[in-house]
Chain A
C-alpha cells in the first residue's frame, strides 16, 4: 500500500490540489461576501505597511525616473540655452536693424524734403588716426560726383564738408574740427557769426558772434547762414548751451551743442548741388527764417 502511494504520489498530489481548489472555489463562490470582508480585514491590517511601501516605491520610482531624466534635462537645458542665445542675438540684431532703419528712413525723408537738391548717400568707413583732427572717410568719391567743398549732411543737421576726394572715397572735415569754420546765424535773432570746432573731446562748437551786442540766448537754434562759402543756408548746426563774453568784453561767444551725434555717424548725404535760394523744411533747420 505504502509502495503504491509513494509510486503515484505526484498524480495523487495534483488530483488533491485540484480537488481542494475546486472545493475552495465552490465554497467561496457561495459565501463571497464573507470572503470579501475577510479580505478587507486583512487589507486594513496591512494597510499602513502597504501605504508605506507604496510611498517608498513611488519615491524610489520618481528618484530613478529623475536620474534617468537628468541626461534628457541636461540636453534640453543646452538646447534652451542655445535658443535663448539665438533669441538674444536676434533681439540685438533687430534693435540694430531698427536703428539703421530709422537712420535710413531719416535720410529718405531728407532726400524727399530736399527734392530739388542733388544728394548722394555714403557710409562712413574710417576716422582720422589723430584724435585732435576730426575727419572721416566716406565710401563715395569723384566717380559718384563728390568733390572737395561739398557739404555733408544728415537729417539731424550739418556733418561737415568734403576736403579731399579720390575716385572711390572722400575725406570729410567734421564741423568739430579745429580748422572748421562755418558761417552761421541764430534763428531767433538773426545774429551772425562763425561756428568753429572747439575741442576734440567735449565735441562742442564755439559760435563767435560778429556783433558787439548780439542777441543770443541759451536754447537758440543755430543754422548755416547765406554767407557760408560751402554750406547751403538754413541747415541746422546745433543749439546754444551757454553764452560768454570774450576776455575784454568786446564780443560774445556762445557754446553750441551740435545737432548731429558724431558718435553714431554711419550714413550721410553729400550735397552735390542745390537750387540757389532754396532751403530745407524747418525740421531740418531751414525755412524758419
Chain B
C-alpha cells in the first residue's frame, strides 16, 4: 500500500527533481531539459481518485516551485490540474502499463507547455511562442518513453488490486 502514501509521493518527487536538476542537464542542452514531475504525476494520478490526483500534482508542482525559486504556484497549479484530469480520465479509459501512461503523458505535455506559456505571459515573462515551443518534440518523446518506464519500475497497481493482495498477505 506504500504507493498510496503521501510521503512516498514526496520521496518520488524529490528524487525526480534531483535527477532533473543535476543529472538531466548533463545530457540535454540548456533549454531542452525535460520535466520529471509530469511523468511522476501521471503515474501517481493513474491509480488515484481525482481528489488525490489533484493533491499529488499539487505536492509535486509546489516542490518544483519551491526548488525553482520564482513564480511560486505556476507548477503547483499546472500539475494539480493535470493530476485531477488524469485521475478523472482513469475511470473512463482502458488501462494498460505501457501505451496508456505513455499517451496520457504525451497529451499532458502537449497541454502543459502552452498552458504555462499563457501563465508566464500573464505574469510578465513574454517569451516568444515559437521559441517556447521549440523543445516540445523532445519533451513529448521523453515523457512518452519515460512515463511507462517509471510506471514499470515502481510497479504501481490499482487500489482494488493492491488491497486484495494486501488482504491476502495479511491472511
Q: Which residues of A contact B (CB under 8 A)?
A: 125-135, 137, 164, 171, 176, 178-179, 199-203, 262-263
Is A263 within 8 A of B30, CB to CB?
Answer: yes
Which B residues are CB-close (under 8 A) to A131?
Answer: 31-33, 35, 135
**Given A129-B67, A171-B69: A200 and B35 interface contact (C-beta under 8 Å):** no
Is A201 within 8 A of B68, CB to CB?
Answer: no
16 of the cross-chain contacts (CB-CB < 8 Å) are A126-B21, A129-B35, A129-B37, A130-B64, A130-B68, A132-B116, A132-B120, A132-B132, A133-B68, A135-B68, A171-B69, A199-B127, A200-B127, A200-B132, A262-B30, A263-B29
Most buried by B among A126, A131, A134, A179: A131
Which A residues are CB-close (under 8 A) to B69?
Answer: 128, 133, 135, 164, 171
- Asked if B128 is at the interface of the complex by the 8 Å CB criterion, the answer is yes
Question: When chains A and B are docked, how far (Å) is the Cα of A127 from the Cα of B20?
Answer: 8
In the complex, which residues 93-141 of chain B have their Cβ closer than 8 Å to any Cβ of chain A? 116, 120, 125, 127-128, 131-132, 134-135
Which A residues are CB-close (under 8 A) to B25?
Answer: 126-127
Please give me the residue from chain A that is nearest to B25 by CB atom: A127
Smallest Cβ distance from A170 to chain B, in angstroms?
12
Is B21 within 8 A of A201, CB to CB?
Answer: no
Is A129 within 8 A of B17, CB to CB?
Answer: yes
Is A134 within 8 A of B30, CB to CB?
Answer: yes
Question: When chains A and B are docked, how far (Å) is the Cα of A203 from the Cα of B17?
Answer: 23
Is B21 within 8 A of A128, CB to CB?
Answer: yes
Is B131 within 8 A of A199, CB to CB?
Answer: yes
User: Assuming A133-B69, A200-B131, what are 9 further A-B pairs, CB within 8 angstroms?
Assistant: A125-B22, A129-B21, A131-B32, A171-B69, A176-B30, A179-B70, A201-B131, A202-B134, A263-B29
Is B70 within 8 A of A129, CB to CB?
Answer: no
Task: Give per-residue flags for B31-70: 1 if the beta carbon is below 8 A from chain A beta carbons, else 0.
Answer: 1110101000000000000000000000000001001111
Is A203 within 8 A of B21, CB to CB?
Answer: no
Is B70 within 8 A of A133, CB to CB?
Answer: yes
Please give me the residue from chain B that is nearest to A135 by CB atom: B69
Smallest Cβ distance from B12 to chain A, in angstroms?
15
- Asked if B75 is at the interface of the complex by the 8 Å CB criterion, the answer is yes
Is B75 within 8 A of A130, CB to CB?
Answer: yes
Give me the 10 closest cross-chain CB pairs, A-B, nearest first: A201-B31, A126-B21, A199-B131, A130-B68, A127-B25, A200-B31, A201-B134, A126-B22, A201-B131, A262-B30
Question: When chains A and B are docked, how far (Å) is the Cα of A179 from the Cα of B128?
Answer: 15
Question: When chains A and B are docked, how far (Å) is the Cα of A176 from the Cα of B37?
Answer: 24
Is B29 within 8 A of A129, CB to CB?
Answer: no
Smallest Cβ distance from B141 to chain A, in angstroms?
16
Which B residues are CB-close (under 8 A) to A132?
Answer: 116, 120, 125, 127, 132
Which B residues are CB-close (under 8 A) to A171?
Answer: 69
Smallest Cβ distance from A36 to chain B, in angstroms?
83
Question: When chains A and B are docked, how far (Å) is the Cα of A130 from the Cα of B29?
Answer: 14
Smallest Cβ distance from A28 to chain B, in angstroms?
89
Which B residues are CB-close (under 8 A) to A176?
Answer: 30
Which B residues are CB-close (under 8 A) to A134?
Answer: 30
Question: When chains A and B are docked, how far (Å) is the Cα of A127 from the Cα of B31?
Answer: 11
Which A residues are CB-close (under 8 A) to B17?
Answer: 129
Please give me the residue from chain B that is nearest to A204 by CB atom: B131
Which B residues are CB-close (under 8 A) to A178?
Answer: 125, 127
Which B residues are CB-close (under 8 A) to A128?
Answer: 21, 67-69
Is A127 within 8 A of B33, CB to CB?
Answer: yes
Please give me the residue from chain B that is nearest to A164 by CB atom: B69
Question: When chains A and B are docked, how far (Å) is the Cα of A78 from the Cα of B21?
Answer: 39
Smallest Cβ distance from B19 to chain A, in angstroms?
10
Which B residues are CB-close (under 8 A) to A202?
Answer: 31, 131, 134
Question: When chains A and B are docked, how far (Å) is the Cα of A36 from the Cα of B120?
Answer: 109
Question: When chains A and B are docked, how far (Å) is the Cα of A178 from the Cα of B22?
Answer: 22
Question: When chains A and B are docked, how far (Å) is the Cα of A226 from the Cα of B55?
Answer: 50
Smallest Cβ distance from B63 to chain A, in angstroms?
9
Please give me the residue from chain A that is nearest to B21 by CB atom: A126
Which B residues are CB-close (under 8 A) to A179?
Answer: 70
Question: When chains A and B are docked, how far (Å) is the Cα of A200 from the Cα of B28?
Answer: 13
Question: When chains A and B are docked, how far (Å) is the Cα of A203 from the Cα of B135?
Answer: 13
Is B22 within 8 A of A203, CB to CB?
Answer: no
Question: When chains A and B are docked, how far (Å) is the Cα of A202 from the Cα of B134?
Answer: 9
Smallest Cβ distance from B109 to chain A, in angstroms?
13
